[in-house]
Amino acid sequence: MKTDKTANKSGRSTCPSCDGEFKCGFGGVFCWCALVRVSRETREEIAGEFSGCLCKDCLVAFSKGKELPESSTWNDS
């Protein structure tokens, strides 16, 4: 995905799709988003609609072509 510009001082981010809070690992040693397979077409759709990284729930939903969750329930603590 792309660099998350929504991270706050605690390193947590807000998903631009569902407004759920999550920790983005982009730029670190590893990020969970690297494990989610997303087609080129879907990546382009996400990039055109949102700015910053999506939470795991929304990214997985997008990758499977499912309806996006209303709020994120995934906890990465």
pLDDT, residue 67, reads 59
pLDDT, residue 68, reads 57
Q: For the whole prediction, is pTM greater than 0.75?
A: no
Q: What is the mean pLDDT of the chain?
A: 76
Decide if 18 is inside a domain.
Answer: yes
Checking phi first, is residue 10 left (phi over 0); if not, alpha (psi -120 to 50) or beta?
alpha
Residue-number span of the structural domain to which 43 is assigned: 12-64
Decide if 39 is inside a domain.
Answer: yes
Decide if 41 is inside a domain.
Answer: yes
Which residues does 55 contact at the CB level (< 8 Å), separation at least 6?
A: 13, 15, 17, 18, 20, 21, 22, 72, 74
Total domains in the chain come to: 1
pLDDT tens-place string over residues 11-39? 788 999 999 998 887 766 678 888 888 88
Query: What is the residue type of 9?
Result: K
Decide if 5 is inside a domain.
Answer: no
CB distance 15 to 5 below 8 Å: no
